Structure 1
């Protein structure tokens, strides 16, 4: 019994060390920024493409912020994955029920450059027949002599 508890304590300490050192590196979808971040949102490394700097301060701020969010979400997801491997899926599910869904499960929406609106052809209006559950009602409303 004491040996099992000792193994659990060592596994817990190892997991804590692994999680404390965990980072994820993500490149922005437009390729102008790369960020390495911790699950806490600490920026460990930031690389900006010179083309981004030519777009102005606002663009730099938006791209860096989005990339930090993506890198942080990726690091948090990695921590959930490590925890699930170390503690088992059942414990990971319990942690998610307390902490909320993992980023990739709940909010993984990669930033993508805006698309130009496609030309839309005018759509013809179609009138749909009302959906009727009872066939007798359909027969009633199809009879024009009843509609006055």
Structure 2
């Protein structure tokens, strides 16, 4: 069975952390890889590629969809997947508008938002699972 075919429950905590690290690196590359010199304004490949009229935002939609798909494969709930889709859809649709869309990309950072949703849900699931598992230890 390939690594991508394994469900969340079949993965070890270290495998889940590696997956989240990979998705976080991808999101940072897309949304905040570079700094505008002399400012604290961060932007990524999403903004740069989005400058190409028409095709730029469409090209960047693929890695955004990948992040959502990985969240789905990890078993994130439908409501949270819907939030992730809404973030990416807003980024895509508004990103199509010249200049305004590029400014929106710099501020909105849909991919970082989506990875934060994913991280939040996986952390909540981990806490719920650890609360259900009985404590192990010797009686004193």
- TM-score, normalization: structure 2? 0.30
Bigger Rg, which one:
1
Select the structure with the greater relative contact order (CA < 8 A; seq sep ≥ 6): 2
- TM-score, normalization: structure 1? 0.29
> More strand by proportion, 1 or 2?
1
